[in-house]
Amino acid sequence: MISSRKRIRRQTHIEPVRVVFFGTPDFVLPCLRVLVENPRYAVVGVFTQPDKPQGRGKALRSTPVKLSAEQHGIPVFQPEKLQDPRVAAILRKLSPDVAVTAAYGKIIPEGILSLPPSGFLNIHPSLLPVWRGPSPLQFALWHNTSPTGVTIMKMDVRMDTGPILSQSSHILLPQEDFFSLSRTLFELGARDLDRVLPQYLDQRVIPVPQDDAKATYSRLLTKEDGRVDFSEPATEIERKIRAFALWPGVFHVRQKDGLRLRLVQARAQGSQDSGVLSDVSDALVVPCARQTQLLIEKIQPAGGKVMSASEFIRGFGVDII
């Protein structure tokens, strides 16, 4: 007689990887979504910038990342300074395996970087080592750096110098501005994060050191970066308008009355066009350096609304210089 034995299958429960996310603006939400929607990960905390007063009423407004985290029931932390000892205590309590940052807006101190066993990964919107620093998107548009792209790197104590896990390229489009490029690059970054984070955690990807000799550097922008007086080529002014769309904007102060004008949308026309203007019925034409012209399509007077060129001419005249 042959006895039968029932096989007992043991179900093994794999604990999810504990992740902390650092980020602030709306265009990094795809990166947070990748972590939230993957059952392999448990997002145990989100760090984002403090609420800030906005609008005419100066009401406090939460960051897009905070609002999204709260919708998913994720604890949110908004420290003024990461050097505060309470931040390290919070992270130790959260006990993350790895941290992911995307446009958080603050430098991560060395003492914080060392807390997760698998470190911090940063989604940086440039092809490192090109445009290290705080303003890579703006500098790529300003200097017409194409292709640009997104890098996922392991963070170290210096800014944007850590070894690279992945990169994806993007060819700049003619009318691309800060907002559209931000969305494009962080959507690419989210896609890459979804692919490379499991490989990194399973030690199936080898971080590649950056070549410091090829590094270029962005910097924090100032209000004066946005000032123009039309003594530079129209192509450079047009690139600034797209690069500085979030802040500081591009502005000119009209000489005859001191009226401050923000240039919102424009196109450039150069000497290569044989000096023949295209249809400019919808634009203010301003002569610039090197026989170029800036065709301003949308403009905003100080204290007023954004208006078309024709609306501006009716209210303020044709002269903006």
Enumerate the known binding-site residues: 126-129
CA–CA distance, 97 with 201 (Å, rounded to integer): 9
- Residues making up the binding site for (6S)-5,6,7,8-tetrahydrofolate: 126-129
Phi, psi of 65, deg, nearest 5? -65, -40
- Give the angle subtended at the CA of 136 by the CAs of 130 and 138, to the nearest 5°: 130
Quick one: angle between helices 178-201 and 29-37, nearest 10? Answer: 30
Cβ partners under 8 Å of residue 26, min gap 6: 64
Contact partners, residue 210, CB within 8 Å, separation at least 6: 128, 129, 153, 161, 162, 163, 164
Cis peptide before 50 (omega within 30 of 0): no
144: left (phi over 0), alpha (psi -120 to 50) or beta: left
Maximum alpha-carbon separation in the chain: 110
**Angstrom distance (rounded) from CA 316 to CA 284:** 12
Determine the Cα angle at 127 with ends 124 and 129, to 5°. 90
Q: Are strands 120-124 and 307-308 parallel, antiparallel or unpaired?
A: unpaired
**Terminal-to-terminal C-alpha distance of the chain:** 105
